[in-house]
Amino acid sequence: CTAFHVVVPVHTNFQEDIPTINQHEVLIKIHAVSLNYRDLLIINNKYPFSLKDNIVPYSDGAGEIVEVGDQVIGFKKGDRVISNFDPTHLYGPSQSCLIKIPDHLSYEQAASLVCTGTTTWNALHGNNRLLPGQTVLLQGTGGVSLTGLMLAKAGGCTTIITSSDDEKLKQVKDKYGADYTINYKKQPNWDEEVLKITNGEGVDIILENGGAATIGKSLNSIKMGGIIACIGFLGAALKPENPDVALLALGKSCIVRGIIIGSREQTEQLMNLVDQKKLEPPVHKVFNFDPTSVKEAYRYLESQTHMGKICIKID
């Protein structure tokens, strides 16, 4: 048998033999993958880290175990699983990087939680636990922000979300239950609006996706002792006047925390909550797995017209 891949950056098809597993491994048939902004950077040769030749895109997949090594414990043929982004980031009781998928989730929904879900869970719960009654600020309407909105609402929090598109803001309020929305193009001093909403106190947690372009206003929007989870760098290319992050953070006595996905334990905690509350991850659109559709998926990601995650169905 052979496995079929679409590879970058040479944009060609590639086939290789399906590997033989050892006694501690499983073989997984991938049914769906979800796209991240990182995938767009890779295919456009703008990813800031080195890559191997013929790298297969997509880190976020969900599938079914089709073969099990004779020393594997806790998993069996037919189990629906995702994998932690970094197989070595394991702290906690389990010895495996695999996490079982709740029964109510589709493969596309599960794939959307691999990086996006774990990143968001880490941002909200990885330092100090998110508490009911707290206020969370989310930037944009992509996968991280909408997943963060879902988790924050499930945790009993007040949510504020920003976007430059009034129609998207209406949808996140009507469909996903955002409490407050801010159009940052119409209100460029959106930090002042955040302070107005919170009676001058600021928010408890910010999912910071903008990078250098927004960190200054985020520091103005955060409550004393709050947490800013730095996740993205979408605005880095704008080269705004660099704010004095150290001084601003000192003035708010806040934590500015870098987030790179999270551990297997955090992914399992996320999946437990999703299972208990039967949460539905925000999948915006699903594409087929063929050369034309895959290109369309990347173009759709690049257009930034989506809300939530873009997925590709493999089977």
pLDDT by residue (tens digit) across 258-280?
Answer: 888 888 888 999 999 999 999 99
- The full 3-state SS of 53-122, as one line of letters, equals CCECCCCEEEEEEEEECCCCCCCCCCCEEEECCCCCCCCCCCCCCEEECCCCCCHHHHHCCCCHHHHHHH
What CATH number has the domain bearing residue 252? 3.40.50.720
Domain count, the chain: 2
The verdict on 242 and 276 lying in the same domain is: no
Tell me the β-bridge partners of 2: 17
The verdict on 201 and 274 lying in the same domain is: no
Q: How many CB atoms lie within 10 A of CB 69?
A: 13
- The Cα 83–Cα 101 span in angstroms is 10
* Diameter over CA atoms, the chain: 63
| Tens-digit pLDDT profile for residues 246-260 | 667 777 777 888 888
Return per-residue pLDDT of the chain as tens, 315 residues: 445 455 444 455 667 788 888 888 889 899 999 998 888 877 777 777 777 776 777 788 999 999 998 888 889 999 999 987 765 554 444 446 788 999 999 999 999 998 899 999 999 998 788 999 999 999 999 889 999 999 999 999 999 999 999 999 999 999 999 999 999 999 999 999 999 999 999 999 999 988 777 888 999 999 999 998 988 665 554 455 666 676 677 777 778 888 888 888 889 999 999 999 999 998 999 999 988 898 899 899 988 888 889 999 997
Burial class, 134, CB count within 10 angstroms (exposed 0-12 / middle 13-18 / buried 19+): buried
Q: What are phi and psi of 105, to 5 degrees?
A: -90, 140
Question: Residue 67 to residues 18, 26, 78, 159: CA-CA distances in angstroms?
Answer: 12, 6, 9, 43
Q: Which of 219, 239, 258 is the last residue of a domain?
A: 258
The verdict on 181 and 242 lying in the same domain is: yes
Q: Which of 258, 278, 296 is the last residue of a domain?
A: 258
Q: Which two tokens stand for residue 307?
A: 């809300």
The verdict on 139 and 22 lying in the same domain is: no
The verdict on 21 and 68 lying in the same domain is: yes
The verdict on 125 and 165 lying in the same domain is: yes
The verdict on 167 and 194 lying in the same domain is: yes
Q: Which of 258, 275, 293 is the last residue of a domain?
A: 258
What CATH number has the domain bearing residue 35? 3.90.180.10
The verdict on 79 and 145 lying in the same domain is: no
Q: How many CB atoms lie within 10 A of CB 230?
A: 20
> How do 203-208 and 222-230 pair as beta strands?
parallel
Please state the separation of Cα 103 from the chain's center in Å.
21
The sign one gets for the Cα dihedral 284, 160, 302, 44 is negative
- The Cα 111–Cα 311 span in angstroms is 8
The verdict on 111 and 124 lying in the same domain is: no
The residue range of the domain holding 231 is 117-258
| Tens-digit pLDDT profile for residues 183-219 | 999 999 999 999 999 999 999 999 998 877 788 899 9
